[in-house]
């Protein structure tokens, strides 16, 4: 509750950032981790729905469902974190000027990440993935790397933006 | 004399995560003398506003500050800092619910 309040205040007042840089700087940034996180969210939602269709609602059901939910929570939060790190440490003001859709997109991802935790609705996970894909496209454009869209070679086999190397 | 800052970067994980909020204060009677183990925010001419842990006080009242990570950019790289650069000592730390222990 308090943290959410602070986040809202931060949106208004934009508190000063204090850097706890862990950089050599290594310069290793890649949105693929966030993309895999978003894919995992969708996968967990699918597994939750598959499990819900079964007739057995015993202890094993609760055990499996809890695990799916826990993993969904973790990956949705990690997706937000990965995007925050790239946005905070790699994205520079000139990038945001060059791509005016970037900052609203990051904000959207953070909101969608929370939404994906709050719901078991597949479309929430799909929206998160698509927003992260759009972020990846801008990220690679900034790096001067072409991208392609291809279906992930594993369930849930949704479209992912990859660098076209 | 007191201000809220938001953490960016990973060098203080697991104690401080990117996105955490901290309240830092410079009011002497509130924070007392700076000592090893204190978390401090300061302004560095090259690196901007930073937050690190005080590892030691060294001659001329200067502070040797470090991050938790091996690759942290800190006094091991840019040397000790003067206390005049301090924004304050962390007196309150707020983490998102997901990171609570």
Q: What dihedral angle (degrees, nearest 10) is formed by the CA atoms of A40, A141, A29, A68?
A: -10
Q: Does B35 touch chain A (CB under 8 A)?
A: no
- Contact call for B97 and A3, based on CB within 8 A: yes
Strands (DSSP E) contained in chain B are: 2-8, 21-25, 39-44, 48-58, 62-66, 86-94
Q: How far apart are CA A77 and CA A80, in angstroms?
A: 5
Highest-pLDDT range among A36-40, B43-47, B72-76: A36-40
Greater model confidence, A126 or B71: A126
Block residue for tokens 């001419």: B45
Highest-pLDDT range among A52-56, A131-135, B89-93: A131-135
Domain ranges of chain B: 2-94
Tell me which residue of B13, B2, B58 sits closest to B35, measured CA to CA. Answer: B58
- Report the residue from A3, A22, A25 with minimal CB separation from B69: A22
Q: pLDDT by residue (tens digit) across A151-165?
A: 999 999 999 999 998
Instruction: Report the pLDDT averaged over residues B3-29.
Output: 84
- Report the residue from B4, B9, B13 with minimal CB separation from A19: B9
pLDDT band at A24 (very low <50, low <70, confident <90, very high): very low
Element (H, E) at A105: helix A102-118
| Residues 6+ away with beta carbon under 8 Å from B27 | B1, B2
3-state SS assignment for residue B67: coil
Task: Please give the ipTM for the structure prediction.
Answer: 0.82
Q: pLDDT by residue (tens digit) across A76-129?
A: 999 999 999 899 878 888 889 999 999 999 999 999 999 999 999 999 999 999
At B55, phi and psi to the nearest 5? -90, -35
Is the entire prediction scored with pTM above 0.80?
no
B2-94 CATH, one of 3.20.20.70, 2.40.50.110, 2.10.109.10, 3.40.50.300:
2.10.109.10
Greater model confidence, A53 or B101: A53
């Amino acid at each position: 509750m308090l943290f959410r309040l602070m986040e809202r205040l931060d949106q208004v007042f934009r508190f000063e950032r204090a850097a706890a840089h862990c950089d050599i700087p290594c310069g290793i940034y890649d949105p693929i981790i966030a993309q895999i996180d978003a894919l995992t969210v969708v996968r967990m939602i699918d597994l939750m729905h598959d499990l819900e269709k079964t007739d057995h609602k015993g202890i094993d059901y609760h055990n499996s469902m809890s695990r799916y939910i826990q993993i969904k929570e973790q990956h949705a939060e990690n997706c937000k974190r990965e995007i925050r790190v790239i946005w905070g440490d790699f994205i520079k003001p000139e990038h945001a000027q060059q791509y005016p859709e970037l900052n609203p997109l990051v904000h959207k991802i953070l909101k969608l990440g929370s939404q994906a935790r709050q719901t078991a609705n597949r479309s929430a996970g799909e929206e998160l993935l698509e927003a992260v894909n759009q972020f990846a496209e801008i990220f690679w454009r900034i790096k001067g790397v072409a991208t392609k869209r291809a279906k992930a070679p594993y369930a849930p086999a949704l479209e992912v933006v990859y660098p076209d190397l | 004399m007191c201000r809220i800052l938001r953490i960016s970067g990973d060098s203080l994980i697991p104690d401080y995560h990117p996105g955490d909020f901290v309240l830092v204060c410079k009011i002497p009677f509130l924070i007392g003398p700076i000592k090893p183990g204190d978390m401090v925010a300061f302004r560095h001419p090259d690196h901007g506003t930073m937050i690190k842990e005080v590892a030691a006080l060294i001659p001329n009242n200067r502070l040797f500050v470090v991050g938790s990570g091996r690759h942290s950019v800190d006094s091991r790289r840019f040397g000790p800092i003067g206390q005049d650069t301090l924004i304050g000592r962390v007196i309150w730390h707020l983490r998102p619910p997901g990171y609570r222990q």
